[in-house]
């Protein structure tokens, strides 16, 4: 695997349950959180068009699993990147960036307002990747992970919130401001 070339990697959308073992194997060895098969199925079965794989031959060398639904407080369409993993030997070849861009493009087609995710504050590679795409730190979540590490919530805006240009900030206009206007 160490002599793998970037051009040998192809990107494809999740097809069916046959893709699941490769995804699980890759993510289980890469991420600090343990996920059950039910967690994978929750995301993949509900949002299969927001799951992409980077394949090298028949081997899954990268995967991203996302969802898109209505944010309960702000009534916005919020995308969420639940998991992103790339085979260690292939990092630095923009595979992770391409997977994120595929999902962001699909979310935009589905009329997403924003996309969020969490990553460990110590994961400099992930923080750099997401920053280069346009994500910003929204907040720090103390002891968020089972290993006791803190997380940063990162956010990507597809469009500015209503009221932003009028000086209401990134949360947009407050309900009473909208009622007055």
Burial letters 103-122, b for 16+ CB under 10 A, else e: bbebbeeeebbbbebbbbbe
User: What is the reported pTM?
Assistant: 0.83
Q: How far apart are CA 45 and CA 51, in angstroms?
A: 10
Helix (H) or strand (E) holding 102: helix 95-109
Q: What is residue 180's predicted lDDT score, i.e. its pLDDT?
A: 47
Is residue 1 assigned to a domain?
no
Is residue 62 assigned to a domain?
yes
Distance of CA 139 to the CA centre of its chain: 16
- CB of 95 closer than 8 Å to CB of 9: yes
Q: What is the mean pLDDT of the chain?
A: 86
Q: What is residue 168's predicted lDDT score, i.e. its pLDDT?
A: 60
Please give the share of the chain, as a percent, with pLDDT higher than 90: 66
Q: Which of 24-38, 42-56, 82-96 has the lowest mean pLDDT?
A: 24-38
- What CATH number should be reported for the domain holding residue 11? 3.40.630.30
Percentages helix, strand, coil for the chain (3-state, rounded to 5) are 40, 30, 35
* Range(s) of the domain holding residue 106: 6-180
Is residue 74 assigned to a domain?
yes
pLDDT per residue as tens digits for the range 77-86: 999 999 999 9
Is residue 142 assigned to a domain?
yes
Is residue 98 assigned to a domain?
yes
pLDDT per residue as tens digits for the range 102-155: 999 999 999 999 999 999 999 999 999 999 999 999 999 999 888 888 999 999
Domain count, the chain: 1
pLDDT band at residue 32 using 50, 70 and 90 as cut-offs: low
pLDDT at 7 over 80: no
Is residue 108 assigned to a domain?
yes
Is residue 25 assigned to a domain?
yes
Helix (H) or strand (E) holding 69: strand 59-70
């Amino acid at each position: 695997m160490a002599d793998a070339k970037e051009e040998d990697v192809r990107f494809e959308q999740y097809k069916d349950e046959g893709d699941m073992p490769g995804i699980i194997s890759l993510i289980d060895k890469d991420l600090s959180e343990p996920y059950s098969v039910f967690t994978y199925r929750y995301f993949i079965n509900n949002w299969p068009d927001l799951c992409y794989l980077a394949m090298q031959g028949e081997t899954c060398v990268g995967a991203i699993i996302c969802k898109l639904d209505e944010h309960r407080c702000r009534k916005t369409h919020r995308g969420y990147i639940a998991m992103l993993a790339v085979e260690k030997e292939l990092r630095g070849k923009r595979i992770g960036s391409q997977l994120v861009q595929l999902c962001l493009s699909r979310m935009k087609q589905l009329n997403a307002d924003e996309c969020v995710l969490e990553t460990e504050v110590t994961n400099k590679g992930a923080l750099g990747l997401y920053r280069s795409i346009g994500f910003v730190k929204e907040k720090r979540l103390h002891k968020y992970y089972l290993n006791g590490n803190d997380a940063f919530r990162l956010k990507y805006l597809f469009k500015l919130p209503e009221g932003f240009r009028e000086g209401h900030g990134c949360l947009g206009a407050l309900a009473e401001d909208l009622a007055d206007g």
